[in-house]
């Protein structure tokens, strides 16, 4: 009886030690996204669901995933740099500047440890005006009240690049404002601003809200400016907003530029975790497409980052090679 009791005690203590060892191996991953109502937050939650699903049949993928609502790209990249996040959602142009120490990151050391895991959707620079404004093309926004976005936002960075290409400064506008996305529609329809600008994935409820509130129309970016931006910045893509995407907002395709969004880690993120995280996203691709309307037309190829912009994490690269989809940086579709 003593031997039996001793055996039970030994088994009990061994189980405690084993459970303790397993708990020590658990990896806690904080995912930086964006506002609760935005696409980044929805995507972050989807990723955590995919990870939990993957871990059910792979006990070596012991990851505890938590989604954090944040101010967005710039916050996420700086938090990743400071080890306050393990996975960060970001626009590729900002990630490129962080990696190279350029743009708004020029006062910081290049974030050379930044690595891309996968891309998601394209976010297009989009301009909206009231139909009664008399603005018919992009040059028509000069001498008007233009919302250029708050400092540190994607739209502000894009507007500043466009203004440099055009040779414009803030004095070329009657007034510039720094409203956020949720404030712009009301300000536009109330006549407080003449021009609404944003960088956003399409389709977006923002434009459906605008068209339901007042009579508005999309304004394309002129070809000369688009071509210059595409030639000078490797992270920009030519982008067409289909004429039938929003009822009554355009009479033809709206030509503009877009930037990809994606998820990033640091180089010390383990190869095994990177491989399994990307694998879990690809294994649940149909569910990812249903996460947000902006994902409805993406393909698996769209998820693979451009290798020439920011290095792909080796674990992610291993997965892409395995499925035969790894590509080097490819040429963009420049405007005619």
* CATH number for position 73: 3.40.190.10
Are both 158 and 131 inside the same structural domain? yes
Residue at which a domain ends, from 224, 259, 294: 259
Are both 150 and 242 inside the same structural domain? yes
Are both 245 and 178 inside the same structural domain? yes
Are both 135 and 109 inside the same structural domain? no
Are both 130 and 251 inside the same structural domain? yes
- Give the Cα separation of 239 and 221 in Å (integer): 10
pTM of the model: 0.85
Are both 163 and 102 inside the same structural domain? no
pLDDT of 16 reads 47
10 within some domain: no
Are both 85 and 190 inside the same structural domain? no
7 within some domain: no
209 within some domain: yes
Q: How many domains does the chain have?
A: 2
Residue at which a domain ends, from 208, 234, 259: 259
50 within some domain: yes
335 within some domain: no
148 within some domain: yes
pLDDT of 10 reads 54
134 within some domain: yes
Are both 243 and 149 inside the same structural domain? yes
pLDDT of 247 reads 87
pLDDT of 5 reads 57
Residue owning tokens 């990870």: 51
331 within some domain: no
The boundaries of the domain holding residue 271 are: 22-120+261-322
Are both 177 and 250 inside the same structural domain? yes
pLDDT one digit per residue (tens) for the chain, 336 residues: 445 555 555 555 555 444 544 444 788 999 999 988 889 999 999 999 999 999 888 888 899 999 999 988 999 999 999 999 999 999 999 999 999 999 889 999 999 999 999 999 999 999 999 999 999 999 999 999 999 998 888 899 999 999 999 999 999 999 999 998 889 999 999 999 999 999 999 998 889 899 999 999 999 999 999 999 999 999 999 999 999 899 899 999 999 999 999 999 999 999 999 999 999 999 999 999 999 999 988 999 999 998 678 999 999 999 999 999 886 544 444 333
pLDDT of 9 reads 52
Are both 244 and 129 inside the same structural domain? yes
Are both 104 and 189 inside the same structural domain? no
Residue at which a domain ends, from 259, 284, 305: 259
pLDDT of 332 reads 46
Are both 53 and 167 inside the same structural domain? no
């Amino acid at each position: 009886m003593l031997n039996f009791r001793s055996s039970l005690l030994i088994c009990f203590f061994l189980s405690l030690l084993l459970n303790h060892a397993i708990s020590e191996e658990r990896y806690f991953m904080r995912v930086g996204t964006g506002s609760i109502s935005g696409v980044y937050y929805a995507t972050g939650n989807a990723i955590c669901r995919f990870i939990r699903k993957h871990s059910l049949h792979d006990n070596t993928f012991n990851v505890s995933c938590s989604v954090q609502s944040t101010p967005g790209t710039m916050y996420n990249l700086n938090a990743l740099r400071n080890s306050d996040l393990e996975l960060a959602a970001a626009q590729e142009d900002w990630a490129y500047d962080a990696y190279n120490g350029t743009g708004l990151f020029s006062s910081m050391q290049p974030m050379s440890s930044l690595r891309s895991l996968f891309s998601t959707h394209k976010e297009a620079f989009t301009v909206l005006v009231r139909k009664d404004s008399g603005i018919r093309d992009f040059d028509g926004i000069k001498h008007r009240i233009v919302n250029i976005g708050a400092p540190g936002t994607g739209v502000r960075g894009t507007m500043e690049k466009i203004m440099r290409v055009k040779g414009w400064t803030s004095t070329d506008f009657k007034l510039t404002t720094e409203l956020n996305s949720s404030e712009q529609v009301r300000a536009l329809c109330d006549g407080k601003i003449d021009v609404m600008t944003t960088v956003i994935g399409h389709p977006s409820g923002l434009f459906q809200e605008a068209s339901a509130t007042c009579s508005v129309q999309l304004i394309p970016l002129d070809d000369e400016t688009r071509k210059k931006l595409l030639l000078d910045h490797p992270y920009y893509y030519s982008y067409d907003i289909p004429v039938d995407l929003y009822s009554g907002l355009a009479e033809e395709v709206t030509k503009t530029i877009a930037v990809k969004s994606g998820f990033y880690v640091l180089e010390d993120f383990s190869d095994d975790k990177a491989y399994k995280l990307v694998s879990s996203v690809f294994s649940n691709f149909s569910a990812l497409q249903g996460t947000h309307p902006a994902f409805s037309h993406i393909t698996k190829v769209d998820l693979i980052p451009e290798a020439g912009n920011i290095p792909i994490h080796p674990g992610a690269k291993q997965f892409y090679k395995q499925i035969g989809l790894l590509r080097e940086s490819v040429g963009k579709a420049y405007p005619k």
